Every structure is written in C-alpha cells, then in structure tokens.
Amino acid sequence: MNHFIEISQLSKPEVMALLKSALSLKNGSICPQYPAIPLATLFYENSTRTRISFDLAAKRLGMPVVNVDIATSSEAKGESIIDTVKTLAAMGIKCFVIRHKEAGLPIKLAKTCGEGIHVINAGDGMHAHPTQAMLDFMTIMEQKPDLSSLKIAILGDIRHSRVANSLQCLAATLNVGELSLVAPEQWQPTVVHYGTVTDSLRDGLAGADVIICLRVQSERFSTGDTLDLTSYRKAYALTKTTLAYAKKEAMVMHPGPINRSVEIDDEVADGPQSYILQQVQNGVFMRMAILSHLISGSDSLA
C-alpha cells in the first residue's frame, strides 16, 4: 500500500490488518515513531475532524507536521496543486493528506508524485472519504464484531455523500449482512455499490443494528436542486420516535458535522445509543494505523 485513495484498493485482509493495528494503537500496545517522515495537510475544503485528527495522529507517531494554509500559499498567485505538492516534496515532505472538491484529484496527484511519497485522500468531492469509512467500521466492530449478522442503515443525503460511497464499498468488502440505503428519491444514490435503496424510513430502519445518519449537504446541491428542510425533517429525521423503528440497542452514528434538529435530534445525537464521539476518538487511531501501514507496512505492526 503506497497511497490511500479509496476503499476498492484494499483487500479484506488489508482492511482487517488496519483495524487490528488501530485497536493496538488505541490500547497502547504499539506506538511506532517516524521522526524522519514529515507530513503535510492540504485542505481546500473546510474540516474539523479529519484535518485535526490527522494532525494529532501524525504527531503521536513522532512525525513533523505542516498544515498548509491554502489561502496564504502561492496557489493564490496561480501555482497549481501539482506544483505545490512537488515543491513540498522537494523540501522533504513524504506524506500528503489532501481534501479537495475535485473527485479524482488524489489519484491524479499520486500518479504524479515520485517514489517514496504517500498521498492520502481526506475527501474528494462527492467521490470518496475512505478514512471516515474505516473509522466508522472500527467503531461498529468494537461493539458488534460479527458483521455478517448485522443490518446497517445509512440514512439521509446519500447522493451527495462521499462517506456513503466509501461505506458501501467497505460494507461489500467486509460482507455486511444487510445494508439499507434510506433516502428520499432526490437524494438516492445514482450508483449503488452495495445495499438496497428504499424511500421508506420505517422499512429501512426496521431491525437495524446500526444507523449511520448523514448530513444534509446543501453546499453540494446543483442549481435546480430543491431543499425543503421542513418536509425532509418530517419524513426522514432521526428522532426518538423514528429511532424506535430500529432494534432496541441500535447504534447511532453520524460522520459529522451534524445539522442538529435537521437530520437528527439532540436527544438522539447525545443519547445513550449515540457513538458519534467514539467515532471521532477512533478517527485518531485509525489514521495512525493508516499512516503506519503506508510508511512501514503491516508486518512491522504485527
């Protein structure tokens, strides 16, 4: 594994090795150090969780970290992102964590970079957010390790969600028993990687062991998309009432950031079934595992 671009590049054993390493990093039984491997974060879209957890993950691994401020970088003078990456690589940066609105940009950069450079996709347009999917499954498997017996429901604005794409691909790789994709018609996926689409909240959540609620991503709507938040909320919000459609102990998850009182109510987001902050916590360890595997391979962490 030289770059971390999308879930489809990973075999099931590779996914399982990453999950095992993330858990070992979390319980403190391993903590490799890479002081000679500098990392840069380049975020062309806003982020709290992903950028800061990569920053913390790299620092815990002893890596020097540069958070590139795009607004004050020479890209404002017309420099291309490829030239920016090549310039930073010439200074010795080895790992690039990139978030960008252009789907496919991380793979383009990975193909351009020379030997010994690692590109990590921190979200590219509506295409993929593979590290989020990995930390989500880490969180699920800590509680419910037998994925083949689970029903997972992904709920909300699936069409505009790169997280939903990566989650579907990972559910397929890990042979999740049942994946339900619940959305109103206008937000249903144009391509289904895995699972069954329904516009019925009650049917989609029935018997679910895990509900992953997605953010309404108004910033990704095309011109002409209509958004009636009141109708959406009425039909699809995760509330105390609609949560009861799922199994009694169903896990509630959300990749964040949350639109409170739009797609999810406070009493559910902050309730006893919520694992939203565990997702955030696991993000640091999963990103440590991904960086470690890129730098030194999985064998070194066994």
- Which residues of the chain form contacts with ligand CP (CB under 6 A)? 47-50, 123, 132, 255-257
Whether 65 contacts 41, CB under 8 Å: yes
Q: How far apart are CA 108 and CA 146, in angstroms?
A: 36
How near is the Cβ of 91 to ligand CP at its closest, in Å?
Answer: 26
208, amino acid identity: A
Q: Which of 31, 30, 27 is nearest to 62 (CA)?
A: 31
* Closer to ligand CP by Cβ: residue 123 or 195: 123
How near is the Cβ of 255 to ligand CP at its closest, in Å?
Answer: 4
* Closer to ligand CP by Cβ: residue 172 or 280: 280
Burial of 241 (0-12, 13-18, 19+ CB in 10 A): exposed
* Closer to ligand CP by Cβ: residue 21 or 161: 161
How near is the Cβ of 59 to ligand CP at its closest, in Å?
Answer: 17
Phi, psi at 274, each rounded to 5°: -80, 135
Between vectors from CA 270 to CA 171 and to CA 159, what angle results, nearest 5°? 40
How near is the Cβ of 215 to ligand CP at its closest, in Å?
Answer: 8
Structure-token pair, residue 80: 């291309």
Q: Which of 103, 122, 112 is nearest to 84 (CA)?
A: 112
* Closer to ligand CP by Cβ: residue 20 or 49: 49
How near is the Cβ of 251 to ligand CP at its closest, in Å?
Answer: 17
Report CA dihedral (168, 130, 126, 88) to the nearest 10 degrees. -170
* Closer to ligand CP by Cβ: residue 132 or 180: 132
